[in-house]
């Protein structure tokens, strides 16, 4: 049984559907620049709160509600997953959601499959299955659909550039700045050599213990 959730209309992402009317098939396209709400971010990157988000939405009246199909283009700020350098970019998120008329006869039903976009992954279908959007009178609050679409479109591992070489494993310097000649000659510093030997020793001990443990198991 899907839970129904109504969102109280508020602010910049609420659209008035009076102009559209309820005649199935009538459509209306609106463009709007809205300030980004908070919480549009993952661990490494996100949309800065209040940043300008360009929104274009086509509203289409269908028998049970309004189908909202749109695109949002939002600026991003965060850091590179490999070298941790600050980066800025942008994200384009597309969405298509059905908003049901309040109190309609389809109110308690799950969303129709035909409104699901083909390229959606299973994870999102699971999310959608539990969530229905409703109009509040003539008002359509696009925020939940917008939010889901933008967060899904955020990159999990943002990169400052496609071929970012990351950080030097030994000294932590960004390899892009350090240049191709950057390397550490372990033999040049006896302290590094000593450390390296210790490390190798640990590895050997570990392998021995593992081997013994396996012997015991096989017993
Ligand atoms: Zn980087
Ligand atoms: Zn280094």
Expressed in angstroms and rounded, the spacing between residue 67 Cα and the centre of ligand 2 is 55
Q: pLDDT by residue (tens digit) across 200-219?
A: 666 666 666 666 665 665 54
What's the average model confidence in pLDDT over 103-113? 48
Q: pLDDT by residue (tens digit) across 36-62?
A: 999 999 999 999 999 999 999 999 999
Range of weakest confidence among 62-66, 129-133, 144-148: 129-133
Choose between 131 and 21: higher pLDDT: 21
Expressed in angstroms and rounded, the spacing between residue 62 Cα and the centre of ligand 2 is 61
Closest CA to 27 of 54, 67, 75, 76: 67
- Ligand sitting nearest the alpha carbon of 168: 2
- Grouping H, G, I as helix, E, B as strand and the rest as coil, residue 3 is coil
Q: 111 falls in which pLDDT band (50, 70, 90)?
A: very low
- Ligand sitting nearest the alpha carbon of 166: 1
- Ligand sitting nearest the alpha carbon of 163: 1
Sign for the CA dihedral angle at 72, 78, 79, 85 comes to: positive
Give the CA distances from residue 11 to residues 7, 37, 119, 186, in Å, rounded to whole numbers and listed in that order. 12, 10, 30, 60
CB 95 within 8 A of CB 68: yes
Q: pLDDT by residue (tens digit) across 130-142?
A: 578 999 999 999 9
- pLDDT of 77 above 50: yes
Expressed in angstroms and rounded, the spacing between residue 85 Cα and the centre of ligand 2 is 16
Q: How many CB atoms lie within 10 A of CB 192?
A: 14
Expressed in angstroms and rounded, the spacing between residue 29 Cα and the centre of ligand 2 is 54
- Ligand sitting nearest the alpha carbon of 80: 1
Expressed in angstroms and rounded, the spacing between residue 44 Cα and the centre of ligand 1 is 12
Pairing of strands 52-62, 65-79: antiparallel
């Amino acid at each position: 049984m899907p839970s129904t959730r109504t969102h109280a209309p508020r602010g910049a992402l609420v659209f008035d559907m009076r102009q559209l009317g309820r005649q199935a098939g009538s459509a209306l396209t609106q463009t709007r620049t809205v300030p980004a709400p908070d919480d549009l971010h993952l661990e490494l990157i996100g949309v800065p709160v209040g940043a300008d988000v360009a929104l274009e939405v086509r509203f289409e009246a269908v028998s049970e509600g309004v189908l909202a199909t749109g695109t949002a283009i939002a600026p991003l700020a965060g850091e590179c997953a490999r070298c941790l350098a600050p980066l800025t970019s942008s994200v384009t998120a597309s969405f298509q959601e059905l908003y049901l008329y309040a109190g309609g006869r389809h109110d308690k039903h799950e969303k129709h499959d035909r409104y699901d976009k083909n390229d959606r992954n299973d994870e999102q279908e699971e999310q959608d299955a539990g969530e229905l959007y409703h109009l509040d009178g003539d008002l359509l609050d696009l925020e939940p659909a917008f939010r889901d679409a933008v967060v899904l479109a955020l990159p999990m591992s943002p990169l400052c550039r496609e071929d970012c070489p990351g950080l030097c494993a030994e000294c932590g310097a960004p390899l892009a700045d350090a240049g191709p000649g950057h390397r550490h000659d372990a033999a040049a510093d006896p302290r590094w050599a000593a450390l390296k030997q210790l490390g190798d020793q640990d590895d050997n001990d570990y392998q021995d213990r593992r081997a013994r443990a396996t012997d015991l198991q096989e017993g």
